[in-house]
Every structure is written in structure tokens, then in C-alpha cells.
Chain A
């Protein structure tokens, strides 16, 4: 195989941007993990899997890095706490100082409840928006939906995806590789 992926795609009449990837189907989560590991050992790097529930071990098998969400949420928490303290201090002691019940214009003790609540609120938004943001959602369309079993990836099928921008990608060989690790219904998916 001396042709590079672009030339190969040209030859197949798919055009340089047409092929998005190749998807193979499995019916058992363990088979997906085993096949994913083998495919990764063959040197593929642009891998993904689709499954109706989180399959344990798949991240490791196909080399998906750990989620960075935790760090983002930590920063959101800090922002929440800072917002609350600044708000209470600026509103009570700077912008509109009023002595009520002889209490100080600003104090940490009575700021605790609101600070806590805003910390939680900001963290929750961080986790929620961060999760969808890192996942590139919301998205109305995705090429993988073209696979005939894509609609079963939310039901009872497990799909292994090799994307076309993988340096090792080669329409013929990749299809054969996926079949060799036991995938059924291996299909080239256009973008």
C-alpha cells in the first residue's frame, strides 16, 4: 500500500473529504473492548466507540484520555465562592451600607450560606455545560449516524469507529482489519 489515504479515497471515487470513517458492529461489550485493544495495537490512533451505556475498560483499550472536567469544575467552584463573597461585601459594605440589627456591614460568618450555595451552583453549571462542551454537543448531525446500526448504539449494539484522518487509515485495509477482529456489518461512512 504505497498510496496515501487521500489518493486512495480519490481512487475509490469518494473525494478527499468524503470518507469520514469506518464503523464495525459488535453485539457484546466485552468483544468491543477486546477488538478495540487489538485495533489499537495495530497502530490506529483515531478511534472511538459507541455504546448504549459506559463500557468499562474501553477508554483504556482505545486510548481515550481521562476527562478534564474535574479541573474545570474546581475553577467554577472557586469562581462561585469569589462571586458570592464579592457580591455580599460590595452590596453590604460599599454600595449601600445599612446597619441592620447592629450587625457588621460585612462578615464571613453570615456569608457562609450564600457562598456555599453559589459555589454549588457554579460547579453544577460547570459540570453540566463542561460535559456537553467537551463532548461537542449539542450537535444536530454527526456522520456516524449514517451507519445502519447507529440507531442501535443507544439500544443494544456496540460500535467501533476508526476515523478517516487516522494516519494509518486505508479504506480496504481498515475494513479488513475491523473484520479480522470480529466486527460485523463493517461500513465505510461518508462525511
Chain B
């Protein structure tokens, strides 16, 4: 079938797959060939990148083995900073994941059609980020093979139940629900495209693999009716879920009495920061994937510009939260609270705090300029600085409050060890390796969704006369 979309220039920029495609068969073709690799050869630069990231994953594996072998003393966690890089990295990675859910669920509910080029990869990113996040509390237990103690499973070796009055158990529920629901949502969206790959498969292995994964999907109208309902429901429940997850993560801090943590602004402030850092990470990944797999015609400057606008908004919301925290600390008249914020900006960790203010609040203001929003180098650099800034935000919250709490006798310093650093570095290897594998072996763009959007746009131009026939 042919498509008539040239009439709408805005659509040209937002839905490139179908615009360049002469037919919906071309859409199938353009997206599927990336996963097949026999028609279009996978660029060598992709394999080089995969080699580098998987080597970094090996570093992670070595560090975790080293940790389990020796005990968590190899990390720098110590009195008074019992929660250090592990929870910083946990919150950092969970936050990264949130943009994926935002793009797939919230933009879906708002009928933002530009999301179709990026939602699949953003959802995949969510899953990989949550996997990286989960590693930290899992290994911080010291005995990860006992991790089932975190769940209310009757067992005879512990003979005790979880304490549901503690935000830490809420976190277990929030993060495991988040991972599970994200996986179900992602897989639901993937099934029709897996069926497309099954029907295109030329080798026995691909026929078997995609035949099994697509679960016998045949595109029946009955299937689609239930599918659309399920997709809508999953998007509808993912939206409050993503807001709840980072709110609950922030409860880990906010329900304590430590100055600088015990604040009601934490849930919205954490959620805004999570979306901010997540969008920046989506940006980094899309720019990399776009270059490595030559996807310039699928992911356009317009998509990137839209994301930069969201980065500007959320970065400014985060800036407002910082200002509000300082104001409330002063206005409350509480000496500990006032001291904490003074210490945050001018104490021993001043360099971390100012890195965070610079990266999160000041640098994104460049996005007020259209030229910056559309410049690939500017957006790549800002996506990196944003993630550095957001990592520092979590570190600053944790380290400044724990090293300087109520009693000067319990003050201290925190020094990360080389194992801390190599473990965190290694999670980037895992994250990027999984993402690169996904981008090469699964349809990175939702084929059926792109077709639906494009064909329905065509109806919009033709009016309803066809249906009235």
C-alpha cells in the first residue's frame, strides 16, 4: 500500500520511517534489516563498541566476585557513612530508568506520536538501568544468595517476617514491581514485531526463536482489540507506578530524622531529578546508537530537540527544588537544618555540591537557545554533564548529611575505594552491552506502532470519506 504523508511537513520530521518509506512494507524492511544483518551489514564500529563495553562488563563481574569473596569491607562504606556509593549508584540507575517509562507510558497517554521512534529503546533502557540498580542493594547485603529474605517468603532459616513499617521494604516492593511491570509492558509491545521477524525469518534458528517468542501472534482483529486495551491499561498503571517508585526511593531518606533528608519536598524533587537524568541518558544512548547503527533517518533532530526541551524543563524544576530546600532550611529556623545546607555548599564537599548545581541547573539553561537544542555535540556534552550532575546530587545528599549530623563527635569523612569506583564503572559496561545487543538483535523501533500512526495520519488527510463509503 502507498502512503500520502507529504502534505504535512511537521509529520515529515517526526515520523521519518514512514515518510521516507514508499509503502508500509518499507517500514518493516527498514527496521527489520538492522536485526537481520544479512542485507545491511552491521557497521564495524558497532562491533568495536560492543567489544569495549563487554570488556567493561568483565570488570564488573570481577569486582562483584572480589566483593563476595572478601566481604563488603572492600567498599569504602564505614561509620558514619554506612550508605555510600552503593545507594548513590542505586538511586542514580533507578532514576535513569524513569525516562523510559515516562516516554512509553505518559507520552502514550498524552497521544504524543513522536514517541514511536524512541519508545522501544527507552523502555529497554529502563529494564537495563533497573538491572544495574538492583545489583547494588543485592551485593550490599554481602550474601546475595540470601536475597530472598527481602521478600515475604515463608522460610525456615530465618523464621521472621519483614518489617512493613520500614521504607526499605517498601523499596523492595517498589523496585521489583517496577522491573516486572516494565518488562511486561515492553514485551507486550514487542510481540507483534517479533511476529513480523518470525514471518521474515529465513534461517531455522530465527524461525524457532522468533516463533517461540512471538507466542503465535497472527494479527487477528480479536488479538488487536485485547492488545490495545492491555497496552492502554499497562500505560495507565505505569504512569502512577513510575511516580511512586522514586517517591518511595526518596522515603528511604525522607522518613529518617537526619538533617537534609527529613523533608517533604523529597518525593517530587526525586521524581523530577529522575526524569531529568533519565532523559539525558536516553539522549546519550540514542546519539550513540544513531551513530553506531546509522539511524539518522529514524531518529531525527526533531526527536532530539523535543527531548532537550524536557531536559530543560525538568532541570529547571530540579533547580527550583534546590532553591526551595535552601529557603526552607533558613525559614525553618532549625539550626541543624541551616547548618546542613551551609555545610553542603561551603563544607568539605563543596566541590561536589557546586558540580551538581553547575551540571544540573546552569548548563541545561543553554537549551533556551534553539541552536543548542539542535546541535549534536552540544546535546551530547549536556547529556553527559547532566548525568554527572545527577550522580553528584545523590552523592551530595548522602555524604553531606551523614558526615555532619547532630553530634560533632560522630562526624567523619567518606573515602571511596578503588573497588567502589571499578564496580560503578563496570555497571556502565553491563548497561551499554545490554543496550547494544538489544539495538542490534531486536526491533529498536515499534514497527506495528509506526505503521498505525502513519496510516491513521493518512486518514486524517483523506477525511473520513473512506469509512463512510
Chain A interfacial positions (CB closer than 8 Å to B): 27-30, 33-34, 48-59, 62, 64, 66-67, 69-70, 73, 87-88, 91-92, 95-96, 98, 100-101, 103, 110-111, 113-114, 116-118, 120-121, 123-125, 127-128, 130-132, 134-135, 137-142, 144-145, 150-156, 161
In the complex, are the beta carbons of A154 and B237 less than 8 A apart?
no
Contacts of B181 in A (CB 8 A): 120-121, 124
Query: Distance (Å) between the CB of B252 and the closest chain A CB?
Result: 11
B436 an interface residue at 8 Å Cβ cutoff? no
The 5 closest A-B pairs by CB, nearest first: A139-B216, A131-B230, A138-B215, A113-B170, A151-B199
Residues of the B chain whose Cβ atoms lie less than 8 Å from the Cβ of A155:
24-25, 28, 196, 199-200
Q: From the candidates A91, A125, A144, A150, name the one contacting B152 in the complex (CB within 8 A).
A: A91
Closest to B213 in A: A138
| Residue in B161, B185, B467 whose CB lies within 8 Å of A30 | B467
B51 to chain A minimum Cβ distance, whole angstroms, is: 34
Q: Evaluate contact between A58 and B221: CB separation under 8 angstroms.
A: yes
Complex interface: chain A residues within 8 A of B146 (CB) = none
Structural contact, A125 and B184, CB atoms closer than 8 A: yes
Q: How many A-B residue pairs have CB under 8 A?
A: 203
Tell me how far the C-beta of B448 lies from the nearest C-beta in chain A, rounded to whole angstroms.
4
A66 proximity list for chain B (CB < 8 A):
225
A129's closest neighbor in chain B, by CB? Answer: B184
Task: Give min CB distance, B133 to chain A, whole Å.
Answer: 16
Q: Number of residues in B with C-beta < 8 Å to the partner? A: 67
Contact check, B216 vs A52: say whether CB atoms are below 8 A apart. no
Given the complex, which residues of A lie within 8 Å of B229, measured CB to CB? Answer: 67, 69-70, 127, 131
A99 to chain B, nearest CB (A): 10
Of the stretches B316-324, B338-346, B421-429, B450-458, the one at the interface is: B450-458
* Most central of A52, A58, A110, A125 by chain B CB within 10 Å: A52
By CB atoms of chain B within 10 A, which of A48, A50, A70, A127 has the most? A127
Which residues on the A side are within 8 Å of B244 (C-beta)? 113, 116-117, 120
Smallest distance from the beta carbon of B463 to chain A beta carbons, Å?
A: 12
Within 8 A of A (CB), among B142-170: 152, 160-167, 169-170
Q: Which residues of B contact A54 (CB under 8 A)?
A: 224-225, 227-228, 448, 452
The interface-forming segment of B172-180, B277-285, B394-402 is B172-180
| Contacts beyond the supplied A64-B221, A120-B237: 11 A-B pairs with Cβ under 8 Å | A51-B221, A52-B219, A53-B452, A54-B224, A54-B227, A69-B233, A73-B233, A88-B164, A114-B173, A135-B222, A156-B25
In the complex, chain A residues whose CB is within 8 Å of the CB of B230: 69, 127-128, 130-131
How far does the alpha carbon of A140 sit from the alpha carbon of B180 in the complex, in Å? Answer: 25
* Given known A87-B152, A127-B230, A156-B24, contact A51–B224 (CB-CB < 8 A): yes
B240 CB contacts on chain A under 8 angstroms: 116, 120
A69 to B240, CA, bound (A): 20
Given A34-B466, A135-B223: A121 touches B180 (CB 8 Å cut-off): yes
Prevailing SS type, chain B contact patch: helix
Q: For B233, give the chain A residue with the smallest CB separation.
A: A127
Q: Are B199 and A152 in contact (CB under 8 A)?
A: yes
Whether a CB of chain A sits under 8 angstroms from the CB of B218 is yes
Which residues of the other chain, B, contact A138 by a CB distance below 8 angstroms?
A: 215-216
Q: A102 to chain B: closest CB distance in Å?
A: 10
Q: Of all chain B residues, which has the CB nearest A70?
A: B229
Complex-state Cα separation, A93 to B211, whole angstroms: 49
Q: With a CB–CB cut-off of 8 A, which chain B residues contact A142?
A: 216, 218
The answer to whether A156 and B220 touch (CB under 8 A), given A53-B455, A125-B184, is: no
For residue B453, which residue of chain A has the nearest CB?
A: A53
Q: Which of B165, B215, B449, B469 contacts A92 (CB 8 A)?
A: B165
State whether A156 and B227 are in contact (beta carbons under 8 Å apart), knowing that A98-B163, A121-B177 are contacts in the complex: no
Collect the chain A residues with CB atoms within 8 Å of residue B218's CB: 50, 142, 144-145, 150, 153-154
In the complex, residue of chain B having the shortest beta-carbon distance to the beta carbon of A59: B225
CB distance from A140 to the nearest CB of B (A): 6
Interface centre among A51, A98, A123, A125 (most CB of B within 10 A): A51
User: Are B234's CB and A128's CB within 8 A?
Assistant: yes
Determine the chain A residues whose CB is within 8 A of the CB of B467 once the complex forms. 30, 33, 57
